[in-house]
Amino acid sequence: MSRRRRAAIVVAAVGGLVWPAPGAVAADPLWNGQYMLTLSANAKVGTSTAASQPEYAHHSTVSISSKCSAGSCIATVDNPPPPKNDSMPQTIEFTWNGSQWVRQMAWKWDCLLPDGTTEYDPAKSVTAYTPGANGVLTGVFHTDITSGACQGNVDMPVTAAPVHPPTV
């Protein structure tokens, strides 16, 4: 798999990353800076045949910026790599729900068939990140593949760590 494709997979999965300002988690979180995103595809589980196909963890470094107004916060990946396929949105934005950064998207899962070819199956994904210690977020990239050879669900752990963590 090419480096560009791996980066696109990570950004697609990683959805809502955050590094909240101290004391700002409840109402107006701030998420600005560079983050190392990890999609642990090597630890995926689920009912889809795709969940049992071997894969390795994907890593990417991105820049994030957030804006909050009237109680709503949106975080944007400023430098996203190109999407891994044409069905994925090119803009990557996440919404703060009061406790997590969340991204939802409809797209087509690139399902690897036994003969080595790829089938594109309709899918809906939700990524949720929960802020933790030292600005590191953890969560899951959950996908429901609604039909096709890979029909079922896949869950992959995700993390987002600040490239420049706070000094404690």
All structural domains of the chain with their residue ranges = 3-105+126-142+154-162
φ/ψ of 9, rounded to 5, equals -65, -45
DSSP H helical segments within the chain, as ranges? 3-14
Question: What is the structure's pLDDT at 167?
Answer: 67
Each residue's pLDDT tens digit, 34-81 = 999 999 999 999 999 999 999 999 998 999 999 998 888 999 989 887
Pick left, alpha or beta for residue 134 (phi over 0 → left; psi -120 to 50 → alpha; otherwise beta). Answer: left
pTM score over 0.85: no
Report the distance separating Cα 4 and Cα 77, nearest Å. 16
